[in-house]
Amino acid sequence: MSMHVYRGFEIYPLIYCHSETTAGSSRNYDSGFDAAVRICLRDAGTTSVFSDTFKLNESAPFLSTGAARRASVAFGQAIIDEHNGENWMQS
């Protein structure tokens, strides 16, 4: 899982298949991908102080994992920017 640091927060893009797999197949990539983002705040050490997960509200699935990942990171950055990068998660 890739991680991005933005304004002191860790952003983890979460990408998954849009449709469930059917019997007899292990993957279903043809229907596209959905995305969510996990935003974590850590203390001075490596302990996770708080984290929350947000699902992207896209009307259509993403065609590739790369597009979903980029949108997920951008969405996470927008959430952080909306709160001016402050520690808003615990309130």
CATH T-level topology, domain 4-83: Double Stranded RNA Binding Domain (3.30.160)
Q: Are 39 and 14 in contact (CB under 8 A)?
A: no
Residue 31: the pLDDT is 74
Query: Around Cβ 6, how many Cβ atoms within 10 Å?
Result: 15
Q: Are 50 and 40 in contact (CB under 8 A)?
A: yes
Domains of the chain, by residue range, sit at: 4-83
pLDDT tens over the chain, length 91 residues: 689 999 989 999 999 887 666 666 666 666 789 999 999 987 776 666 788 999 998 788 898 989 999 999 999 999 999 988 776 665 5
